[in-house]
Amino acid sequence: MLTSAIDHLVVTASTLAAGIQHVEQSLGCKMQPGGQHLRMATYNALLKIGEQCYLEVISIDPGAMSPSRPRWFELDTLLPDTRPRLATWVLRTNDIDNVSNATEIDLGIVEEMSRGALAWQITIPPDGRLPFQGIAPAVIQWKDELHPASRLTESSVSLMQLVGHHPGARHITALLNAASFEGPFSVVEPPDGVSIGLTATFQTPKGIVILS
């Protein structure tokens, strides 16, 4: 049976240190080191925000050899003074080929990726862009039945709700329906005065906090 859920949230930053500082100060937490994505010349830090859900800060790895392709999550477009932001999210499925082909949204190519002992398939647009400005998710399927969040230290931060605003909300909703998605995510057309973007609401040691 086809299933899908929120796998993780992606915060992009011009440097990993800046991204970690932003999340830790905002949520009152301590992030854990992640690892390197050698094919993309990026690296990350992680925070468990659910039983099978985490938040990722990702940035260009300055010590890695530049890839011969655009990096994912539009990291190549960040300037040194670009502020960290909640750029997109990742949908976990048990049938990535089915989900990636079940929508008119161009999610990119299903590619094999790895980080240390972890291996997965994920949709990546060849030009590194964020589909629907990041409101449409990347789609992931892990090779291991044990979810990476189970390897992370328990935190006092939990995801309550994720909301996207985009004029193409109906297309994203169609993708979620085709993927048999269940989870605390909703997408709507932005009302007057509201920009395209994501907002995530967390329960934290500081109370309820919103990241955008």
Give the CATH number, domain containing residue 191: 3.10.180.10
Q: Which domain holds residue 198?
A: 4-211
Q: How far apart are the first and last CA of the chain?
A: 33
Q: Residue 192: is its pLDDT beyond 90?
A: no
Q: Model-level pTM?
A: 0.96
Report whether 198 contacts 164 (CB < 8 A). Answer: yes
How many helices and strands (H and E) does the chain possess? Answer: 3, 12
CA 116 to chain centre: 19
Which residues, other chains included, contact 8 with Cβ-Cβ below 8 Å and sequence gap of 6+? Answer: 53, 54, 55, 56, 89, 90, 149
Tokens representing 124 are 């990546």
Specify the number of domains making up the chain: 1
Q: How confident is the model at residue 102 (pLDDT cuts 50, 70, 90)?
A: confident
Report whether 115 contacts 132 (CB < 8 A). Answer: no
Q: Residue 146: is its pLDDT beyond 90?
A: no
Q: Tell which residue, 73, 90, 56, 74, has the closest CA to residue 179.
A: 90
Q: How many CB atoms lie within 10 A of CB 54?
A: 26
